[in-house]
Copies of this chain bind each other. A is one copy, B any other.
Amino acid sequence: MPNKKVERKTTSSKDRQTLGRLNDLAEGVVTAANRRREPHLDIPARSLSNVRYNRTKKFIEMGRNTNRRQLFNLSQAKSFMQTMLAASGVTQLIEQGKTTSIRGLYYLLKHTIEGAKEETFGDQSECDPVIEDVEVLLGSLREELHLYAQKRGDMVGDIVLVDSGDEIDCSRMGSGGYGIPSIVEPEVIRFKQCKAKFILHVEKDTVWQRFNEDKFWRNHNCILTHGAGQPPRGVRRLLFRLHNELKLPVYCLLDNDPWGYYIYSVIKQGSINLAFESKRMAVPAARFLGLRSIDFKRCGLSESVTIDLNDTDRRRAKQIANYPWFVHKKAWQKEIKKLLDNGFKLEVEALISKNISYVTEQYTPERLKNKDWLD
């Protein structure tokens, strides 16, 4: 075997900041103990009742409610200790300059408590909310805690970035593209040069392949991304950074169905479950380019390519119509009503029935030219 070169990451200022917060957390417990006071944590509540839509900022955010977690309380002692354990786990990661998945952290922390038969965590589902508690407690993104999510999604376009020291020219990435990492924080990814004027985000890899093959991004001077369905955190955070740091508008090309609406909603306003991350993930100015319910008529599609709505679709569509950020928007109410009236949904791929490159050569260019989108 060749000799091993271990590369230690130098601790970034962000890491030092996070470590400071972790240290404060631990200090708080120690101080309480020294003063013979009961150690406790006040954890911002992640319940739906503590989530609200901020009309000014235009994204979902958490309220100010907190839940107290006490060490000397039989029903809370375990989760108190689990929280501290998770905090010590991420401290270890940051100090070693390493990252892992939430699955990895779970395995790192899981053990039988010495002298007892008690496990630190029963299973992953017991660990995940504790990790989220640590995030809100510290006000740190999961990525700042050195935890990565699933890695999905690719990017091409006229942008050069530096990823972990490697310069990557996304205009020279062939048919494969640059695999979007799950951690895209400024410590990992730096934008070096960008000539693109906007971002086209498509739902599926197969649609992305069509746009890439037709070199849409070159002809229209844009960045092309996909998230293989619901975009993972890395993709959303990258869209956020590209939008905010490089001032690139974001256009979303998604299916004409409740799932497509929902993906748009998450990109735009953030996810309800992870409301505390919206301010660093949501892109309120993102636009919904299509497909729209009027496209069936407008594009002259045949009934052959429609898919009937099922009960779940109808229920989801009504729920989404009532989201606070859609409920007052006439265009969205009309869009969703029309979907229900149509009684069917449409996939972006259905446009292929016009011709293979209709979506790249006609549909999308026309929508962009006429500023024909939903907001």
Residues of A within 8 A of B (CB): 1-7, 92-93, 96, 98-101, 103-104, 107-108, 110-112, 119-120, 148, 150-152, 154, 162-168, 172-183, 188-189, 205-206, 208-210, 213-215, 218-221, 228, 302-305, 347, 349-353, 356-357, 361, 365, 368-369
**Nearest 5 Cβ contacts at the A-B interface:** A163-B174, A101-B206, A179-B179, A154-B179, A176-B181
10 A-B pairs with C-beta separation under 8 A: A1-B369, A2-B221, A93-B356, A107-B350, A108-B353, A110-B304, A111-B353, A148-B209, A150-B205, A179-B179
Interface-central residue, A3, A99, A112, A175, by most chain B CB under 10 Å: A175
Nearest Cβ on chain B to A359's Cβ, whole angstroms: 10
Q: Do B110 and A353 have beta carbons less than 8 Å apart?
A: yes
A357 — which chain B residues lie within 8 A by C-beta?
98
Closest B residue to A303 by CB, please name it: B112
Report A356 CB to chain B, min CB distance, Å: 5
User: Which residues from chain B contact A168 at a C-beta distance below 8 Å?
Assistant: 172-174, 176
Given contacts A175-B163, A179-B179, A210-B104, contact A205 B151 (CB under 8 A): yes
A373 CB, nearest partner CB in chain B, Å? 15
> Which of chain B's residues have a CB closer than 8 A to the CB of A353?
107-108, 110-111
* Cβ distance A174 to chain B, nearest Cβ, rounded Å: 2
**A361 to chain B: which residues have CB within 8 Å?**
4, 6
Contact of B176 with A179 in the complex, beta carbons under 8 Å:
yes
Q: Which of B107, B151, B172, B220 contacts A154 (CB 8 A)?
A: B151
B103, B111, B162: the one contacting A347 at CB < 8 Å is B103
CA distance A357 to B99 in the complex (A): 10
User: Do residues B303 and A213 form an inter-chain contact, with CB atoms below 8 A?
Assistant: no
Chain B residues with Cβ below 8 Å from A163 are 173-176
Interchain CA distance A120-B96 in the complex, whole Å: 60
Chain B positions within 8 Å of A172 at CB level: 166-168
Q: How far is the CB of A268 from chain B (nearest CB, A)?
A: 24
Q: How far is the CA of A177 from the CA of B219 in the complex (A)?
A: 25
The smallest C-beta distance from A128 to any residue of chain B, in angstroms, reads 14
A72 to B: closest C-beta gap in Å: 26
- A206-B101, A209-B99, A304-B119 given as contacts; is B1 within 8 A of A368 (CB)? yes
- List 14 other contacts, CB 8 Å, given A4-B219, A6-B361, A110-B304: A98-B357, A100-B206, A103-B349, A151-B154, A151-B205, A151-B206, A151-B208, A151-B209, A152-B205, A154-B179, A163-B175, A166-B174, A174-B189, A176-B178
User: B residues within 8 A CB of A98?
Assistant: 213-214, 356-357
